[in-house]
A = this chain, B = another copy of it.
Amino acid sequence: MLERFKVPADARVYVHAEPMRRATEAIFRHLGLSAEDAALSADVLITNDLQGIESHGVSNMLRSYVAGYRDGRLAPTPAFTVTRETPATALVDGGGGLGLHVAPRAMDLAVAKAREVGIGAVCVRNVGHMGGAGYHALRATSHDMIGVAMSSSDTTTVLPTFGSRPMLGTNPLAWAAPAATMPPFLLDIGTSQVAQNKLRLARRVGALVEPGWIADLDGAPIMERVPVPDECYLLPLGGTREQGSHKGFGLGSVVDIMCSTLSGLGPGFLAGASGYHLLAYRIDAFMDAGQFKRDMDTFLRGLCDTPPAPGHQRVVYPGLLEAEEAARRTVEGIPYHREVIAWFARTAAEMDLEFEFLEASPP
C-alpha cells in the first residue's frame, strides 16, 4: 500500500491480533453467526489487517457488516446450496450470508473438485461482501493448488473507457500460487485504478489522488493531484486510454461476466448484488507439486534479486510485502486509527460485550 494510505502516526493505536480477533468474533457471534462462521469471518478480517490490507480489515468493513445483519440484508445462519453441478463445477446459492464465511466454503468445494478431476470452478450467488479476494485465493495454496477468487460488486462505481456513467464495480481479482520456502505469490487487485475503499481511507487521512485515478461526474479523467472530491467516478486500471485503461476495463468486464452473468445474475450493472467465481488447480495434475514449488522459489527469488531502478531500494513480488507486514504486525501489533478503537468501545457497550485490547506499545 502506498504510504499516503497509512494511518497517520499520531492517530495510531497498536493492538495485538489475538484480542482484536476475539473482539471481532464476539461481535459476529452476538449477531447470530455460528462459532465456526464467526471464527472464519474474523480470520478473514484479521488476516487482512495483519497483511496491511487495512481497506479490507475491521476498520472499514466491520461496521457495514454489523449494519447489514441489523437491517436484515445479511442472514446470520445461511444455507449453502449447490443448485447445479458437474464433476469440475458448481453453482452455489449462498443463502444471503456474508462472503467472509461463504467464500471459503465455496473455495473448499472447488478444491474438493480439483482433487477429484484436476480443476474445480464454483460460482456463488445470493451472497454478501467477500471481504477481499486474496484470503480466498490463498486458501487453495495450502492444498498444493493454485487458487483464483473474483467478486463482482453490488454497486457500479467504475467508468468504461471513454464513458461518463459507471457500469462496473471495482470487481476484484486474486490469484495465488504456493512456493517451497518463499512466501506464496498472491496477486490481489481491484480492476479499477484505485479501490473505492482506498478513496475512503484517503479521505480519512487527507491523502491526495494521482492524475488519472478518478474522473469527474462528466466522465473526464481528473489529471491533477487533488484531494478526493466528495463525488467522483473511478477509472479502470490504466486510467486513460493512452495508459491502457481499455485493458483494465476489459479485466473488470471479465470479472463481471464470470461472477454476475455466469452466476445467473445477469449483467452486473442490473444485478444490484455481488456474485463470486472461485477456481482451484491441482498442481500435480500438470507436474510434480514439489518441483513446482521449488521452481516458484527460483522465480520469486529471481524477481527479488532484480537490481532496482534508480531511486528504488528493492524489487518485490505480489504477496511478499503482505507476508513481511504480517510477520512484523504479529510481533508489534496492528496500527489502528484511534476512531476504530472508539467504535469497538461503543459497540461493546451496545452489545453488552467486554473487550480487553491489551494495547501494544508502539514499535
Contact A189/B247 with A164-B309, A299-B257 known, Cβ cut-off 8 Å: yes
Flag if A163 contacts B257 (CB, 8 Å): no
Contact A87/B87 with A250-B318, A253-B187, A261-B295 known, Cβ cut-off 8 Å: yes
Please tell me which stretch of A94-102, A117-125, A323-331 contacts chain B, meaning at least 4 of its Cβ atoms lie within 8 angstroms of it: A117-125
Flag if B303 contacts A160 (CB, 8 Å): yes
Chain copies in the assembled complex: 2
Residue A218 CB within 8 A of the other chain: yes
Interface residues on A, range: 35 or more
The proximity string for A residues 95-134 relative to B, scoring 1 for CB distances below 8 Å and 0 otherwise, is: 0000000000000000000001111010100000000000
Closest to A317 in B: B253
A296→B265 CA distance, assembly (Å): 11
Residues of B within 8 A of A161 (CB): 315
Residue A347 CB within 8 A of the other chain: no
The proximity string for A residues 260-298 relative to B, scoring 1 for CB distances below 8 Å and 0 otherwise, is: 011110111110000000000111011100011001101
Of the candidates B89, B159, B162, B254, which one forms a contact with A119 in the assembled complex, judged by CB atoms under 8 Å apart? Answer: B89
Residues of B within 8 A of A210 (CB): 242-243
Of the candidates A117, A212, A291, A302, the one having the most CB atoms from chain B within 10 angstroms of its own CB is: A117
A310→B220 CA distance, assembly (Å): 6
Flag if A118 contacts B121 (CB, 8 Å): yes
A312→B89 CA distance, assembly (Å): 41
Residues of B within 8 A of A84 (CB): 285-287
Residue A75 CB within 8 A of the other chain: no
Contact A315/B160 with A91-B287, A253-B187 known, Cβ cut-off 8 Å: yes
Residue A65 CB within 8 A of the other chain: no
Flag if A238 contacts B246 (CB, 8 Å): no
Residues of B within 8 A of A242 (CB): 2, 210
Flag if A285 contacts B219 (CB, 8 Å): no
A270→B297 CA distance, assembly (Å): 13
Of the candidates B218, B238, B318, which one forms a contact with A244 in the assembled complex, judged by CB atoms under 8 Å apart? Answer: B238
By a beta-carbon cutoff of 8 Å, the part of chain A in contact with chain B is 2, 84, 86-89, 91, 116-119, 121, 123, 146, 159-165, 167, 175, 177, 185, 187, 189, 193, 210, 212, 215, 218-220, 237-239, 241-244, 246-251, 253-254, 256-258, 261-264, 266-270, 281-283, 285-287, 291-292, 295-296, 298-299, 302-303, 306-312, 314-318
A219→B189 CA distance, assembly (Å): 24
Of the candidates B121, B250, B268, B299, which one forms a contact with A261 in the assembled complex, judged by CB atoms under 8 Å apart? Answer: B299
Flag if A286 contacts B237 (CB, 8 Å): no
A281→B261 CA distance, assembly (Å): 13
Q: Which 5 A-B pairs have the closest CB atoms?
A: A219-B309, A86-B118, A89-B118, A267-B299, A187-B250
A264: shortest Cβ distance to chain B, in Å?
5
A117→B299 CA distance, assembly (Å): 32
Of the candidates B88, B250, B269, which one forms a contact with A189 in the assembled complex, judged by CB atoms under 8 Å apart? Answer: B250
A298→B285 CA distance, assembly (Å): 37
Of the candidates A219, A243, A318, the one having the most CB atoms from chain B within 10 angstroms of its own CB is: A243
Residues of B within 8 A of A163 (CB): 303, 306-309, 315
A118→B120 CA distance, assembly (Å): 9
A311: shortest Cβ distance to chain B, in Å?
8
